[in-house]
Amino acid sequence: MNTIDLAACRDQDFMDAVARESGQDLKSCYQCGNCTAGCAYTEDYDIPVHQVMRLVQLGMKDAALSCRSIWLCATCQACTTRCPNNIQVAVVMDVLRHMARRAGHAPERLVKGFADSFLTSVARHGRVFEAGLAACFAIKSGKPLQDAGLGPAMLSRGKLAFMPHEPGGTAKAEVAAIFARFHSGAAEGEK
């Protein structure tokens, strides 16, 4: 039987950084699996979310940052609402995504490309512009016509709009301020 030397895998700096950036008490996770049971993406994840939490607890940085799951997470918060220990699991997943980017882990160009396209759309319009996102991602994917056949049906059912429907009032400026704060924080982190 193969054994794994957990002490040798343990990266304390990584564990501390995830705890600091997420503001969560990661030690309180007792691996009940409630988060995974409520996650709609478990079937598509390479590592279920409770095991991602375990990787973080064990300080297994490379395994946590190179998994596909962190890029598929939709930040739906189902895991967070189901956690009996009030851990903001979705925030931990978000922190891991940011860390993975900084560390140069982007296991799937297309998944990262979609995340980039989504955030660019929200930054530009204050909320996502679905048709623009689809067009942008189609170009990035190198297969611009792959899903083109879905367009007419979605348009006819009102699922896509030709023009962005930007939020009213100060909402767009508030979203822009969030992105500005993030970019200035990211620049600080690079110094």
C-beta closer to ligand SF4: residue 50 or 125: 50
Give min distance, CB of 141 to ligand SF4, in A: 22
Nearer to ligand SF4, 49 or 136 (CB): 49
CB of 165 to ligand SF4, least distance (A): 25
Residue number, 27 or 183, with CB nearest to ligand SF4? 27
- What's the closest the beta carbon of residue 2 comes to ligand SF4, in angstroms? 25
The nearer residue to ligand SF4, 58 or 160, going by C-beta atoms, is: 58
d(CA 24, CA 86): 9
Structure tokens given for 106: 């982007």
The nearest distance, CB 108 to ligand SF4, in angstroms, is 16
Least CB distance to ligand SF4 at residue 44 (A): 10
Full DSSP string of 77-122: -HHHHH-TT---HHHHHHHHHHHHHHTT--S-HHHHHHHHHHHHHH
Which CB, 31 or 146, lies closer to ligand SF4?
Answer: 31
Can you give the binding site for ligand SF4, defined by CB under 6 A? Answer: 29-35, 38-39, 41, 49-50, 53, 73-79, 82-85, 87, 89-90, 93
- Give CA–CA dist 153/5, Å, rounded: 54
Residue at token pair 């705890």: 19
Q: Give CA–CA dist 29/12, Å, rounded.
A: 17
Please say which residue, 40 or 163, places its beta carbon nearer to ligand SF4.
40
Q: Where are the alpha helices (DSSP H) in the chain?
A: 6-9, 12-22, 34-38, 49-57, 61-65, 69-72, 78-82, 89-102, 109-125, 130-141, 151-156, 171-190
DSSP single-letter state for residue 42: T
Q: How far is the CB of 150 from ligand SF4 (least distance, A)?
A: 23
